[in-house]
Structure 1
């Protein structure tokens, strides 16, 4: 007997400030003006997506003492944008990245509980950490937290916010016998938390929200991050969108759930995925090549190489050969606040590998960056892309995908119009929303209806 088809989960990442976006395209628009967010969100909702996702940047990134080119127009505040989008959407989930290293549990819990009320139960929190002292300089605790303690704080941070969300559970309304006025039980909202990182008490002033608690996402790929997700998250973002890598990640994380008393369906795994669509597979391949060249200008190629070399390479020709000098492996890095710095753990080994690739393929610096950078996850006609996405999900490489188009804000339109209907025809994606909350979209139980899945503080 064949197992039933899994239903695919789809979400959309507003591309804004990242290396995916092609700002040189005439269709590219602002990632600050609210109209861009409205267009993107309403497209995702029209396609019946589960949620929209906004990343967060707490400081403008720098390289060689200058603001990185993608950051020059700034980054809007996550909560402000999501709250505004709640007013122009009816069903779409609203997911935001909020850092647990530079915030306080009471403030974050209050903001997410408020967003959940404003949206009718559609909020979600992507819990992230930061060891980056450069970013921390913006905060009063700038860079104070050692890297090995960041997950300890994050676990206690999440546990504390859950205590705040749950502090309104079981509240009662009682009538004063003398006046007839209805009053809330004084215990509603009361909390006390004493731990390594937080020692707080009082009364939480936002009543229990439609979802009970916002949906919790986590994005760490380290062993600590995977354990954190298995113990306490409702979904985990994955960077493994290829079939075999995705299956290995999926199996590893799902197998960690049992030790926390959780079932496989209580944690969704959702990789980020870019795409290039054409009327034919050949047309899509040509578009994908063109997009990759647009994403990597000559200046961008040099900046990318500087991540690894940790040197000023502005005198090098991006259409010429790689530098013959070795990377500088000192602790003082040329790039500040960029995730790519942490991706290359062994710069000398990376440089050797890249020189060999460039020599074997006669690649210039720009050619190398184009060919070793992230390629589109799904390339092909709508039929090919729909078929591939379904195959990956049914093969347990993921539970769905968070789509990252290369154009802001209209890049999602073609996927919504041409791929989603094919998935719906296959019976693996909804034709309408079945409930009002994000938990309904994701198939997750309300916290009051399921056993507690808490992280011990």
Structure 2
């Protein structure tokens, strides 16, 4: 019996603080002006994408005590942007990264419930933690939470938020048919939570929203993060972009679901994916090489090397050889607010490996960073990329992709116009939205036992 084709889920990632955006491209626009967000969201909705994904940056990154100015240096508030986008879109899901370390459950639950009302049931929450005291200083909490406790707080944070969402039930809401106002009985919104991280009680003041709860995303890749996702999340924003790594991750996480009474279709795996699209495969390959060189300028290459060496390398020639000195493994790190710092657990071993690679290939510092950094996941003509995307999903390496273009806000336009129609022709991607909420788009059930009476009437 032929296995039915899986439907591909597609989403669009508006890049935040990143090393992906090619700022030298004349098409690169503002990451602050609302017109950029609006264009990006409208393109994603025109292509019938599931959702837009908005990252968050709680502190400007620094290197050597100075603002790191080689990528975006600002980020407007996530909820403000998503609420504004709700007014210029009708179907597109609106996903925001909101930190569980430096916020409080009541305020976050209230914001997401409000966004879900404003958007008609299209909100989603990417639950993240923060491990560094550097970011915490913005909240007068620098170092207040040991790294090993971040998931403990995240789990209780999400559980507490769900208690607040669930404190309004459908049978507690009465609608005045003449005025359209909602009335509630004495039980509505009442909550009590006592735990290791939160001890709160009171009354939640936002009625039940169209989805009941926002869709929950999780992005951690550790064993603890995978377990958290298997138990609590609706989707994972993963980083595994190759077929073999994607299949291994997919198999591992899906296998964890039964212990929590969940089926394979109750958790979607959606890796981030970049692409280089051109009329022919050869042109796309050339474009990919050009984009990589634009993404890694000489200054960027030196800064990237400093992540590992933990030294000021500004005196080195980026087109010259790698430093022959070893990384400084003592004292404070030269880079603050950067996830990359954690990627190199053994800087001395990494430096040795990189020197050997550079020597064997006659690479300069810049060449090394270009070749060892992230590459485009999909490169080719529209037909090639459509086929590759579909092959990846049908091989159970993912359930779809969150696309990250290298220019914003127009970097998604060509994909929407040339690749999406091919996926639709193959019958693996929708031609129209079939529901109204993000849970509908993702094929996810509403929370058990919870029903929005207004949506049903």
Contact kept? 1:6, 1:394, Cα under 8 Å: yes
Distance 2:223 2:350 in 1: 23
- CA displacement at 1:142 relative to structure 2: 2.1
Distance 2:111 2:280 in 1: 46
Contact kept? 1:92, 1:438, Cα under 8 Å: yes
What is the aligned partner in structure 2 of residue 48 from structure 1?
48
Contact kept? 1:212, 1:448, Cα under 8 Å: no
- Range with greater deviation from structure 2 (267-276 or 341-350): 341-350
Contact kept? 2:212, 2:450, Cα under 8 Å: no
Relative distance call for 1:182 and 1:406 in structure 2 (3 A) is closer
What is the aligned partner in structure 1 of residue 68 from structure 2?
68
The answer to whether residue 431 in structure 2 is matched with residue 431 in structure 1 is yes
What is the SS of the residue equivalent to 1:18? Answer: coil
Relative distance call for 1:323 and 1:166 in structure 2 (3 A) is same
What is the aligned partner in structure 2 of residue 102 from structure 1?
102
What is the aligned partner in structure 2 of residue 58 from structure 1?
58
Relative distance call for 1:348 and 1:234 in structure 2 (3 A) is same
Contact kept? 2:194, 2:200, Cα under 8 Å: yes
What is the aligned partner in structure 2 of residue 24 from structure 1?
24
What is the SS of the residue equivalent to 1:430? Answer: coil
- CA displacement at 1:3 relative to structure 2: 1.1
What is the aligned partner in structure 1 of residue 286 from structure 2?
286
Relative distance call for 1:254 and 1:182 in structure 2 (3 A) is closer
What is the aligned partner in structure 2 of residue 359 from structure 1?
359
The answer to whether residue 415 in structure 2 is matched with residue 410 in structure 1 is no
What is the SS of the residue equivalent to 2:401? Answer: strand
What is the aligned partner in structure 1 of residue 455 from structure 2?
none
- CA displacement at 1:172 relative to structure 2: 2.9
* Long gaps (5+) in structure 1: 452-457
The answer to whether residue 126 in structure 2 is matched with residue 142 in structure 1 is no
- CA displacement at 1:187 relative to structure 2: 0.4
Distance 2:175 2:158 in 1: 35
Relative distance call for 1:359 and 1:341 in structure 2 (3 A) is same
Distance 2:113 2:173 in 1: 20
Contact kept? 1:18, 1:70, Cα under 8 Å: no
The answer to whether residue 215 in structure 2 is matched with residue 230 in structure 1 is no
Contact kept? 1:171, 1:185, Cα under 8 Å: no
- CA displacement at 1:184 relative to structure 2: 1.9
Distance 2:292 2:12 in 1: 20
What is the SS of the residue equivalent to 1:411? Answer: coil
Relative distance call for 1:344 and 1:30 in structure 2 (3 A) is same
Relative distance call for 1:173 and 1:429 in structure 2 (3 A) is closer
- CA displacement at 1:75 relative to structure 2: 1.2
Relative distance call for 1:70 and 1:97 in structure 2 (3 A) is farther
Normalised by the length of structure 1, the TM-score is: 0.96
Relative distance call for 1:141 and 1:244 in structure 2 (3 A) is same
What is the aligned partner in structure 1 of residue 297 from structure 2?
297
What is the aligned partner in structure 2 of residue 241 from structure 1?
241
What is the SS of the residue equivalent to 1:300? Answer: helix
- CA displacement at 1:241 relative to structure 2: 1.4
What is the aligned partner in structure 2 of residue 455 from structure 1?
none
What is the aligned partner in structure 2 of residue 254 from structure 1?
254
Q: How does 1:381-400 map to 2 (within 5 A)?
A: 381-400=381-400
Relative distance call for 1:329 and 1:145 in structure 2 (3 A) is same
Contact kept? 2:273, 2:404, Cα under 8 Å: yes
Distance 2:248 2:396 in 1: 9
What is the aligned partner in structure 1 of residue 309 from structure 2?
309
Contact kept? 2:276, 2:285, Cα under 8 Å: yes
Distance 2:344 2:175 in 1: 64
Contact kept? 1:60, 1:71, Cα under 8 Å: no
Q: How does 1:48-197 map to 2 (within 5 A)?
A: 48-70=48-70, 73-172=73-172, 183-197=183-197
What is the SS of the residue equivalent to 1:410? Answer: coil
Distance 2:234 2:55 in 1: 18
Residues 136-173 of structure 1, C-alpha deviation per residue, up to 9 Å, x if partnerless?
00012222000110000000000000000000014435
Contact kept? 1:14, 1:404, Cα under 8 Å: yes
Distance 1:312 1:214 in 2: 44
Distance 1:79 1:273 in 2: 24
Residues 209-267 of structure 1, C-alpha deviation per residue, up to 9 Å, x if partnerless?
00000000000000010000000000001100110000000000000011111000000
Distance 2:356 2:167 in 1: 59
What is the aligned partner in structure 2 of residue 35 from structure 1?
35
Distance 1:151 1:328 in 2: 30
Relative distance call for 1:279 and 1:72 in structure 2 (3 A) is closer
- CA displacement at 1:331 relative to structure 2: 4.1
Contact kept? 1:276, 1:380, Cα under 8 Å: yes
What is the SS of the residue equivalent to 2:32? Answer: coil
Distance 1:380 1:235 in 2: 28
Distance 1:175 1:388 in 2: 50
Relative distance call for 1:256 and 1:370 in structure 2 (3 A) is same
Relative distance call for 1:70 and 1:207 in structure 2 (3 A) is farther
- CA displacement at 1:174 relative to structure 2: 6.9
Q: Give the superposed CA RMSD.
A: 1.6
